[in-house]
Structure 1
Amino acid sequence: MSLTLNRAVALLKQHDLLREIVTPGRWTLDAASCADADQTFAAITYDTRQIEPGTLLVCKGRFSPKFLDSCDERGLAAYVSETEFSEHTRTPGLIVSDARKALSLLAAEVYGHPERQLTLIGITGTKGKTTTAYFTQAVLNAHSGGHCALFSSVDNCLDGRTYVESDLTTPESLDALRMMRQAVDNGMEYLVMEVSSQAYKVQRLYGITFDVGAFLNISPDHISPIEHPTFEDYLYCKRQLIAHARTLVLNAHAAHVDLLREDAAGADVPVHEFALLGEQPSSHSPATCGWPCGGKNAMAYQFRLDGEELGDYALDLAGDFNVENALAAVTIAHAAGVPANATDALHAMQHTRVPGRMEQFDDEESDTHAIVDYAHNFASVKRLIDYVDARYGECKPAITLVTGSAGNKALDRRREIVEAAQNRIARFIFTTEDTDTEPHEDICKSMLANVTNPEVKTSIVINRADAIADAIADAQAHAGRTDVILIIGKGNERWIKDFNKHTPYEGDDHVVERLLAA
């Protein structure tokens, strides 16, 4: 760590963020007039609980000044804030126009700009980000001998092989840059990141440029008072990836694709388009595309990369939508430098599985089939049921959907999940998902109120493990009937967020395994 007060002030001035420096009895723009201006900070944080002697604190978000009241005694050296807090601390305050932008810039400086030492790949879209990220990492690991790191909404991987459960889709800037530094120190050459709309809305990626940015798709999601007020705002935030990428990989079938092409043209960003097709490509198809092989293996697809045939792809991860994710990964890896003739590397994702994504469990004796998935909105629920229709449709299965929805945010999902499913399934079981302060039962009742089809059965079972048990018991009780149980929203997460605390949870996958083995 080599950041001093002098260097922090110079950096903030360079980016037109500094308003003034507040010290006891004086407001100034001259860092040199402050005591210890050339002394290196011992640490940087945005959490007052982590303050130790010599710490620079960045006050971001819903910061309460009372958090500062005991910080001088614990060694606070200075703070960065959009508001001056001289009544709560005697330390210098660097007052800025945007604390989150400041945090990102200062973090990059503290950790020696690791983002410049990695080939950075950012993937955005309403659905498919995680799977595409895992597929892309598999290809780049195969190409580089295991030197690709990963930031995803499921896991983070900083050494190419060890996966640790993550907290956010895109980490806070300070955490992201710290982990990038660890990845570089571990010998990583590539980093594949999921990029959320919130990451751009709250400046977690300020100052970061991606070598390859990928835009998979867009549909309404995350619309709420604490996320995005409108779909336009959601799409606008997603689009920021394009202006902050050196190369864009774009799904030619994405909604609003013409606008996305305009974004790329306006930013002078070259575009590699891909498309999953329903039949053999024509002269108008993108040079990078995939289409069904037909013949004996109806689940296989053939890929073409910049006009060069790559052969057949048959994935362990079910669903045509995952074939599209695989095609995206091939295109991304090629844009990142993997040559089209590196066929072994480009096929490396075929046996990749993603925790909590399309995990299937079967009880052949009772003809019961359970699928655990992270589906959580209209688009992902629709495509999940489309897969069930394609895979089990001839058996006319009774489909049960075990679902909740996030509390305090994305309020539109409660209606959209119901609308996507209610005319295609036999039963809803509404249950617990993550929430901040909203009671689980209120969320379930809100979802239930959106059910308008009188033919679909409904129930509320608040305990999530009990809800899964209810669905499995009902399926196994109906001999001679094919049952498909869709358990969505939590995947393999081992916790449920309840009133802002993570409470331990067995995990949907483990619950299903335990019950089917009983």
Structure 2
Amino acid sequence: MEISNCIKILKNEDNFREIYVNLVAYYDLPDQYDRTISGLSYTSQDVSEGNIFFCKGNNFKLSYLNQALEKNISAYFTESIDEFPDTTAVGIVVNDVRKAMAVIAANYYDNPQNDITLVTFGGTKGKTTAAYMLKNILDIHTDGKAALISSADIILDGVTKIKASLSTPESLDLFKMLRTAADNGMEFLVMETSSQALKLDRVYGLDYDVAAFLNISPDHIGDIEHPNFEDYFYFKRKMFKQSKTVILNSDSDYYQLLEEAAKDCTEKIITFGNIKSNKECDFIWEKIGGNSFKLTSPFQEYGEFFVNLFGDYNIENAVASISIALQFGVSIKDIKRALKSIVIPGRMEMFKTEDEKLVVIDYAHNYISLKKVLSELKIVFPDKEINVLIGSPGNKAQSRRKDFGKVLSKFADYVVLTEDDSNYEETEKIIKEIEIHLDDGISRTIISNRKEAIKYIISNSSPNSIILLAGKGADKFQKRKGVREFYEGDYQIAKEYVESLKK
């Protein structure tokens, strides 16, 4: 692919202004400056000779471009720049650099979205769990030919796990992953689509074969992400416009609006819901005890299913996955087998101590997920003390701090507040912003070091109590000052500490 190809694509997209080479402006690229592209990059640390470089992001600095130029890039893309560098690298000015990234990446990797069936999950809670469920189902159906892009793991060959850094990768990375998965012989790719991915055009140009919208609740609201719930909700449902088939949870808040929005822009809508809601749906589920449920449609009974995960909300995730799987002709036998064996790291992992404390590790990291986990624990263990360890991330989703205070005040007997990816904010400041929203009657302890906090809550909880370690799930890092530092993980720390107490 040559630079001239990029310019032609951008002109067709009406996303092109002009070119600068050696301080001279052009509309058409002179032949002597055209060259073959060796790769795509948006970070000056990773850029290589001959790459094209995208100047993107609110925090982009001119020094990043200068670093890239020192590595002899062939071209760079920018929306605006006060002073163009005097260089033979071709400077291409566009209206929207993020959309330019997406369309050029799609073309550079030969439109991989056309070579694989693409399924996504959106909504506030359950995306990762539902994605894992569907991958498990499709793996059995296709003999291991389902790829995954989630906030937990990226699996592009059906087996090998790579730790994820974003729920939905940047477009350059995403299209490269799609090409890798397709070249690896994957028939399906299951992914999460976040509100930020839609707002920042990371998935621009993608068309999903099926998109499932699980639920909606306020989250990611703050100065950096979404200014308010309306903005968050709008971008959450924007994926409907890129989806051939939409799966909707009729029990979701704002369901009528979601259904109307989907009808306005997609070919096919499939709905599911709980029998208690008394709504007409394509798939209706009914809990029959524990983690088991029955599934029916107006035309068929599908029998009983068991999902190897705790909570009614995971039955909802399972039904969403079943609704998709049936569109691809997966057998009920394969679906039941997959759900019965599903294990998801960091999602409702449990073990007991010698004095019968139940330690639960879960990724519950926002209002709706924490509320659902705690309410389920209260229902299943109505007479047991529930103690919660939790923190909140820095420089994002500031509204969670107030939300956590409200949920903890309703469901928790005792709280330990600690660190959870404080980033550039002070951990103590974040903790205080949670604590001020706790009811006065809620006993609490503040321990900034998460490892020590885990040890403390285990040691100081009563026998037979429930201990929920919330927020990090299977994460093996703490984000501090923009850097992901190694962290052993909540499960490993808790398990090793409990084992040490036996000695």
Q: Which TM-score applies when normalising by structure 1?
A: 0.93
CA contact (8 A) 1:68 1:88 kept: no
What is the CA distance between 1:141 and its match in structure 2?
Answer: 1.1
Instruction: Report the Cα distance in structure 1 between the residues aligned to 2:31 and 2:362, rounded to whole angstroms.
Output: 55
Corresponding residue for residue 458 of structure 1: 444
Classify the secondary structure of the residue corresponding to 2:469: strand
Deviates more, 1:42-51 or 1:495-504: 42-51
Q: CA deviation at 1:53?
A: 2.2
Distance 1:35 1:51, change over 3 A: farther
Name 1:286's counterpart in structure 2.
281
Q: Deviations over 1:466-515 (max 9, x none)?
A: 1111111112xx4xx52111110111111100111111111000011112
Residue 160 (str. 1) matches residue 158 (str. 2)? yes
Instruction: Report the CA distance between 1:55 and its aligned residue.
Output: 1.3
| Stretches of structure 1 lacking an aligned partner (at least 5 in a row) | none
Name the SS for the 1:466 alignment partner. Answer: helix
Within-5 A mapping of 1:362-441:
362-363=352-353, 365-393=354-382, 396-441=383-428
Q: 1:206 maps to which residue?
A: 204
- Residue in 2 that maps onto 1:52: 48
Q: Deviations over 1:367-409 (max 9, x none)?
A: 201111111222111111111112211xx21211100001122
Aligned partner of 1:432: which letter? E
1:321 aligns with 2:313: yes
Once the two structures are TM-superposed, the CA of residue 305 in structure 1 deviates from its matched residue by 4.9
Q: Distance in 2 between matches of 1:389 and 1:88?
A: 66
> 1:169-197 CA distances to partner (integer Å, 9 max, x unpaired)?
00000101111111111100100010000
Report the secondary structure of 1:35's partner residue.
Answer: helix
Whether 1:68 aligns to 2:65 is: yes
Aligned to 1:266: 264
Counterpart residue number, 1:356 = 346
CA 1:516–1:305 in 2, change beyond 3 Å: closer, same or farther? farther
Residue of structure 2 in register with 1:344 after alignment: 334
Secondary structure at the aligned position of 2:159 is classed as coil
* 1:170-319 equivalences in 2 (<5 Å): 170-278=168-276, 284-293=279-288, 298-305=290-297, 307-319=299-311
Q: Quickly say closer, same or farther: Cα 1:4–1:460, change in 2 above 3 A.
A: same
Aligned match of 1:517: 499
Cα offsets for 1:22-48 (capped at 9, x unmatched):
2224322212x25242x3111111112
CA distance in 2, matches of 1:507, 1:132: 22
- Look up the SS of the partner of 2:411 in the other structure: coil
Shift of 1:320: 1.1
Deviations 1:400-442 (A, max 9, x none): 1100001122111111111012132221100010022101111
- Corresponding letter in the other structure for 2:318: A
Equivalent-residue separation in structure 2 for 1:292 and 1:383 (angstroms): 16
Give the deviation of 1:298 after TM superposition: 4.4
Q: Which consecutive segments of 4 or more residues in structure 1 shift more than 6 A? A: none
Matched, 1:127 2:113: no
* Contact 2:135/2:147 (<8 A) preserved: yes
Please tell me the residue identity of whatever aligns with 1:64: K
User: Cα distance 1:513–1:305, how it changes in 2: closer, same or farther (>3 A)?
Assistant: farther
**1:77 corresponding residue in structure 2:** 74
Q: Give the equivalent residue in structure 1 for 2:478.
A: 496
Q: Which amino acid is 1:420 matched to?
A: V
Matched residues in 2 for 1:67 and 1:292: separation?
A: 55
Give the alignment's TM-score, normalised by structure 2: 0.96
Bigger CA drift: 64-73 or 13-22?
A: 64-73
Q: Equivalents in 1 of 2:375, 2:68: separation in Å?
A: 55
Q: State the alpha-carbon separation in 2 of the partners of residues 154 and 25 from structure 1.
A: 45
Cα distance in 1 for partners of 2:355, 2:84 equals: 69
Moved more, 315-324 or 187-196: 315-324
Amino acid corresponding to residue 320 of structure 2 in structure 1? A
Structure 2 counterpart of 1:113: 111
> RMSD of the alignment, in Å?
1.6
Alignment-derived partner of residue 103 in structure 1: 101
Shift of 1:146: 0.9
Q: How many residues align?
A: 498
Measured after TM superposition, the shift of residue 334 of structure 1 is: 2.0
Counterparts in 2 of 1:474 and 1:147: CA distance versus 1, 3 Å: same
Conservation of the 8 A alpha-carbon contact between 1:414 and 1:446: yes
2:10 touches 2:100 (CA, 8 Å); kept in 1?
Answer: yes
* Residue 7 to residue 344, structure 1, CA distance change in 2 (3 Å): same
TM-superposed CA distance for 1:314, in Å, is 1.5
Tell me how far 1:73 sits from its aligned partner. 4.1
CA drift of 1:89 comes to 3.8
Q: Is the 8 A contact 1:140 1:146 kept in 2?
A: yes
Give the Cα separation in 1 of the matches to 2:447 and 2:67. Answer: 45
Separation of aligned partners in 2, 1:310 and 1:89: 66
Partner residue of 1:41?
37
Partners in 1 of 2:9 and 2:364 — Cα distance?
A: 42
The Cα of 1:306 is off from its aligned counterpart by 6.2
Name the structure 1 match of 2:8. Answer: 10
Give 1:30's aligned amino acid: D
Matched residue, 2:487:
505
> SS at the partner of 2:121?
strand
Instruction: Give the equivalent residue in structure 1 for 2:433.
Output: 446
Deviation at 1:342, TM superposition (A): 4.2
Matched AA of 2:342: T
- Take 1:406 and 1:176, find their aligned partners in 2: how far apart are those partners? 25
- Secondary structure of 1:134 counterpart: helix
Would the aligned equivalents of 1:494 and 1:505 in 2 still touch at CA under 8 Å? yes
